Structure 1
Amino acid sequence: MESWELGEWYGEFLDALNRHDLEAVRSLIDPGVRRAHLPRGGEAWIADLGEFFHAFPDWRWKRIQLVIEDDRIAAHLRGSGTHSGHYRDIAPTRRHVNVAEFAIYRVTNGRIAEFSGSSDAELRAQLA
């Protein structure tokens, strides 16, 4: 993909995430996707997102900055939502949280093959 195509592709990916459309997200990630420090595979990622969206049903990401080089995307995002369901070991707090996120993706054949991103430490700190 050309850089501009990868930028448009990322816009579609972010839109699917913001709609909480797990089927659309599934179509944009490789079934064998590797995620840094997280379980491998598309189904594990979809399961994690499903749990996250249950905990934060109004969660949305806003793109701040995007850098594209070859098959890599570096994204600076702002994520926010209200904690209204269990998140990992934290009972619902009803707090609205707003966090900076950084992610790096490798995209092959229109699907995410590798992902690494900032941890959820900032999110957990706001829920404590």
Structure 2
Amino acid sequence: MEPWELHEWHADFLDACNRHDLSRIEEFLDPAVRRAHLPGGAAAWLADLADLFVAFPDWRWRRIQVVAEDDRIAVHLRGSGTHLGVFGGMAPTRRHANVAEFAMYRVDRGRIVEATGSSSALELRDQIRGAGRG
């Protein structure tokens, strides 16, 4: 894919994510996708997203920046939502969370085959616990 195609591809992927459309998201994932420091495979990725969407039913990502080169795309996003369901064993707090996320994907034939990036899980847990707020 050309860099401009990767930008469009990511816009479509992000749209599916923001609609919480797991079936459509799956179309962007290679069945054996490798994720750094996380369980591999599309099923594990989709399960993680499903958990997030249950805990934060209004979760959305906003794209800040995208850089594409060859078969790789790097993205800076802001993710946010309201904690209305169980997340990581934590009962709903009704707190709003807003976290920065960075990811790099290797894309082959329109599917993510490798993914790495920052984990916002700790920051997200801190925000819904109310840590650091006085």
Report the TM-score when normalising by structure 1.
0.97
Match of 1:62 in 2: 62
Where do 5+ consecutive residues of structure 2 fail to align? 130-134
1:61-109 C-alpha deviation (Å, 9 max, x unpaired) = 0000001111111100011100000111211110011111111111001
Q: Percent identity, please.
A: 66
RMSD (CA atoms): 0.7
Q: Determine the C-alpha separation between the residues in 2 that align with 1:114 and 1:100.
A: 20
TM-score by length of 2: 0.93
Equivalence for 2:72: 72
> 4+ residue runs of structure 1 moved beyond 3 angstroms?
none
Q: Residue 121 in 1 paired to residue 117 in 2?
A: no
1:88 matched to 2:91: no
Q: Which runs of 5+ in 1 are unaligned?
A: none
Higher mean C-alpha deviation, range 116-125 or range 21-30: 116-125
Q: Which one is further off, 87-96 or 17-26?
A: 87-96
Q: Which residue does the alignment assign to 1:14?
A: 14
Show CA shifts across 1:29-52 (max 9, x none): 000000111111001111111111
Distance 1:58 1:11 in 2: 19
User: How far apart are residue 121 of structure 1 and its match?
Assistant: 1.7
Partner-residue secondary structure (3-state), 1:39:
coil
